[in-house]
Amino acid sequence: MTDALKQVTTYELLKMKERQERIVMLTCYDALFARLLDPSVEILLVGDSVNQVLGGQDTTLSATLDQMIYHTKTVRRGSSHALVICDLPFLTYQVSPTEAMRNAGRVMQETLCHGVKLEGGRSMAPTVKALVDIGIPVMGHLGLTPQSVNALGGYRVQGRDDVTAQRLKDDAKALEDAGAFAIVLELVPTPLSAEISKSLSIPTIGIGAGPSCDGQVLVLHDMLGLNDRFSAKFVKKYATLADDVRKAAEAFKAEVRSGRYPDADHSFAK
């Protein structure tokens, strides 16, 4: 694990790939979790998945720039080690490179995060280059791209046939050439993600893309078992905190109802 006292940089991620040291990334949406996670990860991603996880929406599409800036600010306050990356929400970067520069620049300036993430391949390469050219680090995202879920026909594995597999390989190369410092591969078959990862000099971060990526990411609330209404083949739950929350709430209710809480230890005599 990277030294907890040292700020992770995009350069360090490249060196980790060279050393074949796996990169750890989790989503994060607030300062408290950022503080708890910070020593254990290289990257904290403030994903537009906040729109689903905390906002109760069915997709990420209605996430706003102000929403992402707010959550990224709070994560940045809780982190001193991890690289903090902000998702650019739908239609904040697709219209033109100029608009992408304006919006991404606002994110960097107002949140003090370390970079942005955007979805798309060759069509987004000019935008990635424009951002990188003005000093904004960019993480790409290929495969299942949630902002395009309607065009993709739902949440399903991408690149299973030769045509789409080749397109993903070309997209990954285009993003690398444009200056992206890393690429998320989501819901991509293991052999394809392995081939893409081997072909690139920049790291790949997998989610549902098998073990051959240079790092892995999960949505925090899925990993912790807090979001117990969601399950997917690629999600491993490392805790069952939804059960703990329910048990704690029921214990609190029982003590309040019975008058056991607050007791003398939790009250002020004068």
Which secondary structure element, helix H or strand E, spans residue 84, and what is its range? strand 83-87
- Report pLDDT for 147: 87
Overall residue count recorded for the chain in this entry: 270
- Per-residue pLDDT, averaged over 99-103, amounts to 98
CA neighbours closer than 13 Å in the CB half-sphere of residue 105: 12
Cβ atoms of residues 208 and 186 within 8 Å: yes
- In a 10 Å sphere around its CB, with 0-12 CB exposed, 13-18 middle and 19+ buried, how is residue 48 labelled? buried
Q: What's the token pair of residue 177?
A: 């050439």
Distance CA 76, CA 154 (A): 32
Among 32-41, 200-209, 230-239, 240-249, the minimum mean pLDDT is found in 230-239
- Residues serving a catalytic function are 186
pLDDT beyond 80 at 79? yes
Higher pLDDT, 53 or 3: 53
In this structure, are strands 204-207 and 43-46 parallel, antiparallel, or unpaired? unpaired
Report all structural domains of the chain as residue ranges with CATH numbers, in order of start: 10-239 (3.20.20.60), 240-270 (no CATH)
Looking at per-residue confidence, does 42 or 58 come out higher?
Answer: 42
14, 187 contact by CB (below 8 A): no
| Neighbouring residues of 138: CB distance < 8 A, sequence distance ≥ 6 | 115, 116, 117, 118, 128, 131, 132, 178, 179, 180, 181
pLDDT tens for each residue of 138-176 = 999 999 998 887 777 777 899 999 999 999 999 999 999
CA gap 151, 145 in Å, rounded: 10
Q: What is the mean pLDDT of residues 121-141?
A: 98
Q: Please give the full DSSP string across 136-161, using - where no structure is assigned.
A: --EEEEEES-GGGHHHHTSS-----S
Name 261's Cβ contacts closer than 8 Å, sequence gap at least 6. 252, 255
Provide φ and ψ at 207, rounded to 5°: -140, 105
Q: What is the C-alpha separation between 154 and 172, in angstroms, rounded?
A: 22
Lowest mean pLDDT, pick from 143-152, 192-201, 226-235:
143-152
Single-letter residue type at 50:
V
For 1-48, the pLDDT digits (tens) are 444 569 999 999 999 999 999 999 999 999 999 999 999 999 999 999
